[in-house]
Chains A and B, each alone.
Chain A
Amino acid sequence: MNGYGGKILRVNLTTGKIAKEQTPVDIARDFIGGRGFGAYFLYKEVPQGADPLGPENKLIVSSGPMSGLMIPGAGKCDFTTKSPLTGGYASASMGGHFTAEMKYAGLDSIILEGISSKPVYLFIDNDRVELRDASEFWGQGTIAVEKQFKEKFGEDFQIAVIGPGGENVVSYACINHDFGRQAGRGGVGAVMGVKKVKAIVIHGTKSIPVADSQAYRNAGKALYKACKDASFLEEWTRYGTTVVTSWCDEVGALPTRNFSAGSFEDGKNLYGPVMREKIVITDKGCFGCPSPCGKYSRSKKYGSYVEGPEYETIGLLGSNLGISDIEAVAQANLLADDAGIDTISAGNAIGWAMECYEKGIFTKDDTDGLDLKFGNIEATFELIGKISRKEGFGAFLAEGVKKASQKIGKGTEKFAIHVKGMEQSAYATHNATAMLLAYMTCDVGAHHNRSWAITYDIQVGRDLVVPEKVARVIWLQNFRPMFDVLGGCRLQWVELGIDRDLYITALDAITGIHRDWNDYEKVGERIWNLTRMFWARENDGFSRSWDLPAPRFYEEAPESGATKGQITKIEDVHRLLDMYYEQRGWSNDGLPTSERLAELNLSELVA
């Protein structure tokens, strides 16, 4: 099959059985690859009611038809599972070089099944696939382990590894790769950890078949040229995602003290140019990337050397904790990466705990003696370690803010910032109705990467609740994650403004199948509806209430900053959902109708 590795690798960790099967042509047609393959295999193969931490759950790692080819940013890899954080669908996208090696080893997906009785790592060198003893690596941080594997097998091997957070099954443990890239969200690292898989080590040398090699080369060149000629290549590369920090502060989107505000009085110390000047030492990109957004930083104060912090980490481990020292954020970033926990969820959990502490709900007796005032850098460092080790107060926060707040009660649920149990990424949404809706309806919980609509809010009117806004969110949800399906990065399109039809020319040449963007959008819609059905199948009573945002955004207006005095009224929250369900072709409870499922060729799969 052109554009594909051609094989699905299944590894049963309970029995040790390793098997390969042909990548199904019809599944490639209907779900393309990457996140699409993950959604399909998850729905089809993980039985209803499976314990996310039990042997029936699977971890599905997938590349896409772009992956490993000379297309800008063609290094995205998808990790899908049933989330231990949310109990629903989890799909985490990871940059770097891992997915390219998957394709060179002839693999479109790796499916980890069952549970190993002892720590192992999966070793893949082309057709040689082995489960090997990982006892000597168990308990070590991600950076040390990746380094040891690189020394042992060579630089050409790519490694996806969990840290103590994954081993200890922290609900928001991540999977690390390339010393600073993560499949961050939804607890994919916890699933790998409970399966006792410390790492996947992979290398391949096979060719990826393409339908028309000359047309593919020409299309690839055109894409790279478009990136090189882009007006803002230099600025984007200089700052990466940190270019957005000052802007978020200005418009009231920078999470501040557990999202109680969207502007931070000391925010200037965290801005991209400040970070560039103070700690950035070089840029770092993923496979085939002409516009590297990764920044390596060195903090003299803490002695840390880390890829990052990127914007999300600055927002959640910086301003959201009342911390304005960019070097401290870099150090916290390093600690979280090495421990293998998601900086977004960890920043939310610590921010929530700090607010509880400042309100007197927690005292030092609850926090293992930590003085959890906002801005306490040392306590933040300490807590990251405690969470990853599930030690004392850290074990309580390791379940995520939804479960922690439900255990404590006392009104703390109102400032537990999550949707469906996933902590919100770094955009405060007190008065940005499209962005709020994007979080409410995101397929994994409160994550921004499916639909980032806050610019649209600002251009058309932040508090407007109109069908056009809802349509924009839906279009973005169907379209943007297609890059996670194709195995590539969306940032060249969204930030450099590359003509998206250039991708069509390339994909046609690679696969030999003509599809236009409407066709891809349809696939995006199919995946969106399938994952919605997964949520409904796995959670009794799944309906509209699951789509509600944190009450903070409709009950408590910020007392300072750009959004001072502003909230979205609960009536408007429901109006947004009414319009969203109608435009999606869903019921008033937010479930896809049988007609909609039939239109998307999903009836048989979800029957």
Chain B
Amino acid sequence: MTATIRTSSALRDFLDGKDEFEVEAGHTVRETLLSLNIKPELIALVIVAGEQRSKDYVIQEKDEVKVMAIIGGG
């Protein structure tokens, strides 16, 4: 049961240069972020199959989850 989570490239600094991770389905986005050592508060937007989701969305098998952090500000 795996899915993919893709983070903003701008978060690479915190993630050893990586921005794509294979993750286990069945967990919320929030839990998954924590398991990757990403603080969920960093994330401004969660997108799954083009739809905006909350951080409490439970990741399904084969989901491609995009999590966007803001780095630049307004």
Partners in one complex: yes
Interface flag for A455 (CB, 8 Å): yes
Bound Cα distance from A243 to B42, whole angstroms: 13
Interface residues in A214-241 (C-beta closer than 8 Å to B): 230-232, 235-236, 239, 241
CB distance from A456 to the nearest CB of B (A): 8
CB-CB nearest in chain A for B44: A247
Known pairs A232-B66, A235-B68, A250-B41; A496 contacts B9 (CB<8 A): yes
Interface flag for B34 (CB, 8 Å): no
Instruction: Select which of A250, A425, A497 is within 8 A of B8 by beta carbon.
Output: A497
Q: Which residues of chain A have C-beta atoms less than 8 A from B42's C-beta?
A: 455, 458-459
Whether A231 lies near B73 (C-beta < 8 A) is no
Bound Cα distance from A519 to B21, whole angstroms: 34
Beyond contacts A455-B70, A494-B71: 8 other A-B pairs, Cβ-Cβ < 8 A, are A230-B9, A235-B66, A247-B70, A310-B74, A311-B73, A458-B41, A495-B70, A497-B19
Q: Which residues of chain B have C-beta atoms less than 8 A from A247's C-beta?
A: 43-44, 70
Bound Cα distance from A52 to B44, whole angstroms: 41
User: Could you pull out 11 A-B pairs where Cβ atoms are within 8 angstroms?
Assistant: A231-B8, A231-B66, A235-B66, A236-B68, A244-B70, A250-B41, A311-B74, A425-B74, A426-B74, A459-B14, A497-B10
Q: Which residues of chain B have C-beta atoms less than 8 A from A449's C-beta?
A: 73
CB distance from B54 to the nearest CB of A (A): 11
CB distance from B57 to the nearest CB of A (A): 16
Bound Cα distance from A368 to B74, whole angstroms: 34
Instruction: Select which of B12, B45, B72 is within 8 A of A491 by beta carbon.
Output: B72
Interface residues in B40-61 (C-beta closer than 8 Å to A): 41-45, 47, 52
CB distance from A423 to the nearest CB of B (A): 15
Bound Cα distance from A230 to B71, whole angstroms: 15
Whether B73 lies near A244 (C-beta < 8 A) is yes
Known pairs A494-B10, A495-B10; A455 contacts B66 (CB<8 A): no
Interface flag for A290 (CB, 8 Å): no
Q: Which residues of chain A have C-beta atoms less than 8 A from B6's C-beta?
A: 231
Instruction: Select which of B9, B38, B43, B44 is within 8 A of A231 by beta carbon.
Output: B9
Interface flag for B69 (CB, 8 Å): yes
Interface flag for B39 (CB, 8 Å): yes
Q: Which residues of chain A have C-beta atoms less than 8 A from B52's C-beta?
A: 273
Number of A-B contacts defined by CB within 8 Å: 76
Interface residues in A446-473 (C-beta closer than 8 Å to B): 448-449, 452, 454-455, 458-459
CB distance from A486 to the nearest CB of B (A): 16
Partner-B contacts on A (CB < 8 A): 230-232, 235-236, 239, 241, 243-244, 246-247, 250-251, 273, 310-312, 315, 425-427, 448-449, 452, 454-455, 458-459, 490-491, 494-498
Q: Which residues of chain B have C-beta atoms less than 8 A from A454's C-beta?
A: 73
**How many B residues touch A, CB cutoff 8 Å?**
24
SS class, residues of chain B in contact with chain A? mixed
Whether B74 lies near A312 (C-beta < 8 A) is yes
Instruction: Select which of B38, B66, B71 is within 8 A of A495 by beta carbon.
Output: B71
Partner-A contacts on B (CB < 8 A): 6, 8-10, 12, 14, 19, 38-39, 41-45, 47, 52, 66, 68-74
Bound Cα distance from A449 to B69, whole angstroms: 17
Bound Cα distance from A244 to B45, whole angstroms: 9
**Which 6 A-B pairs have CB atoms at the shortest separation, nearest pair first?**
A497-B9, A311-B74, A494-B72, A247-B44, A452-B73, A241-B74
Q: Which residues of chain B have C-beta atoms less than 8 A from A495's C-beta?
A: 8, 10, 70-72
Whether A251 lies near B41 (C-beta < 8 A) is yes
Q: Which residues of chain B have C-beta atoms less than 8 A from A239's C-beta?
A: 45
Bound Cα distance from A449 to B73, whole angstroms: 7
Bound Cα distance from A498 to B14, whole angstroms: 16
Bound Cα distance from A458 to B73, whole angstroms: 14
Bound Cα distance from A184 to B44, whole angstroms: 26
CB-CB nearest in chain B for A499: B9
Whether A458 lies near B39 (C-beta < 8 A) is yes
CB-CB nearest in chain A for B71: A494
Whether A235 lies near B45 (C-beta < 8 A) is yes
Q: Which residues of chain A have C-beta atoms less than 8 A from B44's C-beta?
A: 243-244, 246-247
Q: Which residues of chain B have C-beta atoms less than 8 A from A231's C-beta?
A: 6, 8-9, 19, 66
Whether A452 lies near B71 (C-beta < 8 A) is yes
Bound Cα distance from A246 to B44, whole angstroms: 7
Bound Cα distance from A491 to B39, whole angstroms: 23
Q: Which residues of chain A have C-beta atoms less than 8 A from B68's C-beta?
A: 232, 235-236, 243
CB distance from B2 to the nearest CB of A (A): 19
Q: Which residues of chain B have C-beta atoms less than 8 A from A496's C-beta?
A: 9
Bound Cα distance from A497 to B42, whole angstroms: 16
Bound Cα distance from A498 to B36, whole angstroms: 22
Whether B72 lies near A497 (C-beta < 8 A) is no
Most buried by B among A273, A315, A426, A497: A497
Bound Cα distance from A459 to B38, whole angstroms: 7
CB distance from B51 to the nearest CB of A (A): 12
Bound Cα distance from A494 to B66, whole angstroms: 17
Bound Cα distance from A232 to B70, whole angstroms: 11
